[in-house]
């Protein structure tokens, strides 16, 4: 290891299992002090437990690192505040926030219940905003006090948010919102010394084992392209001081592949010079679509 994040204080949400756990261990291996946040729920958000967060803390301490557990609900305003306060009270500062927590309640939109929509939007989208908001309040105060800030936020979107995913309308909407939130936060926080980026990862986790069952099995030997640990090197680098010039980006990462997602942008257009007649719109749209790029298919579409 290279001590890439030596002396930095990192909060990782949803860090008790899967990708979040891999992030927490990877940051600790690079010298960071880590707040391991996890409410310890099942994949659908039920049955909270402090066990997963503490287990990861114990792993970090056993390897000679510094870590503390936090079991606050990141989508609860006061809980998100306590999470950030944990970093400040335990380690004296905060340098990196990795928003990773989430769960699934998959269902086709025609069958999706209101509470299933609300729960997923809450944990993913508000669960990103609330910690982000409390963290930037600290960094803005530091900046205004004349103290140098070299802080990082890494959000977690998804291919479902970038392309859509059949049977995951609530999850896809939340993850698309996270990508948009990332762009706005990157612009607004730049003057405080804070960069904001997002990842869209693909790896073997509790949340993906049903959607990508045929790809989930670990190989008997060789490189395991679906291991959660493959995602963390990019996140650790984004959390380091080396990434200061990178902000407002969404990175796709899977196995040994890192890519930059290119999202919504202005495409072909036509100016009528005056208000359109409805009967003339169809021909114009046909010409626009003929010259536009073909959309990437929605995951699971037939």
The tally of domains found in the chain comes to 1
Q: Active-site residue among 33, 158, 165, 243?
A: 158
Q: Is residue 270 part of a domain?
A: no
Q: Is residue 2 part of a domain?
A: no
Q: Is residue 289 part of a domain?
A: no
Q: Please answer whether residues 37 and 74 qualify as being in contact, where contact means their C-beta atoms are separated by less than 8 angstroms.
A: yes
Distance CA 104, CA 44 (A): 5
pLDDT at 126: 98
What's the CATH number where 201 sits?
A: 3.40.50.720
Is 33 a residue of the active site?
no
pLDDT at 76: 98
pLDDT at 211: 47
Query: 90 to each of 66, 82, 85, 173, 185, how far by Cα in Å?
Result: 10, 12, 8, 35, 26
Q: Is the dihedral of CA 39, 44, 46, 52 positive or negative?
A: negative
Is 171 a residue of the active site?
yes
Is 299 a residue of the active site?
no
Q: Is residue 1 part of a domain?
A: no
Q: Is residue 285 part of a domain?
A: no
pLDDT at 45: 46
Question: Does pTM surpass 0.75?
Answer: yes
Query: 239 to each of 9, 119, 154, 161, 202, how far by Cα in Å?
Result: 10, 29, 7, 22, 19
Q: Is residue 186 part of a domain?
A: yes
Q: Is residue 296 part of a domain?
A: no
Q: Is the dihedral of CA 75, 19, 109, 281 positive or negative?
A: positive
Q: Active-site residue among 175, 232, 240, 299?
A: 175
Q: Which domain holds residue 256?
A: 9-260
pLDDT at 2: 86
Q: Is residue 34 part of a domain?
A: yes
Q: Active-site residue among 171, 232, 240, 299?
A: 171
Q: Give the residue ranges of the chain where pLDDT is below 70.
A: 41-50, 206-221
């Amino acid at each position: 290891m290279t001590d890439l994040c030596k002396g930095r204080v990192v909060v990782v949400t949803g860090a008790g299992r899967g990708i979040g756990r891999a992030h927490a261990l990877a940051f600790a291996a690079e010298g960071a002090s880590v707040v391991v946040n996890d409410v310890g729920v099942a994949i659908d958000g039920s049955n909270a437990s402090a066990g997963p967060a503490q287990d990861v803390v114990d792993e970090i301490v056993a390897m000679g690192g510094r870590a503390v557990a936090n079991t606050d609900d990141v989508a609860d305003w006061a809980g998100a505040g306590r999470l950030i306060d944990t970093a400040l009270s335990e380690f004296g500062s905060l340098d990196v926030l990795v928003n990773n927590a989430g769960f699934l309640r998959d269902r086709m939109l025609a069958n999706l219940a209101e509470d299933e929509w609300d729960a997923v939007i809450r944990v993913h989208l508000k669960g990103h905003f609330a910690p982000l908001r409390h963290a930037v309040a600290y960094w803005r105060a530091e900046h205004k006090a004349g103290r140098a800030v070299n802080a990082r936020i890494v959000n977690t979107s998804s291919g479902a948010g970038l392309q859509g995913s059949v049977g995951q309308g609530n999850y896809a909407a939340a993850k698309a919102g996270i990508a948009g939130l990332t762009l706005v936060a990157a612009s607004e926080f730049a003057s405080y010394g804070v960069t904001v980026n997002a990842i869209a990862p693909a790896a073997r986790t509790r949340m993906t084992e049903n959607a990508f069952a045929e790809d989930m099995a670990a190989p008997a030997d060789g490189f395991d392209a679906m291991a959660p640990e493959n995602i963390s090197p990019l996140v650790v680098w984004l959390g380091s001081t080396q990434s200061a010039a990178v902000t407002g980006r969404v990175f796709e990462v899977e196995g040994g592949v890192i890519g930059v997602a290119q999202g919504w942008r202005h495409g072909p257009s036509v100016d009528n010079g005056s208000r359109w007649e409805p009967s003339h719109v169809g021909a114009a749209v046909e010409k626009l679509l003929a010259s536009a790029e073909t959309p990437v298919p929605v995951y699971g579409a037939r």
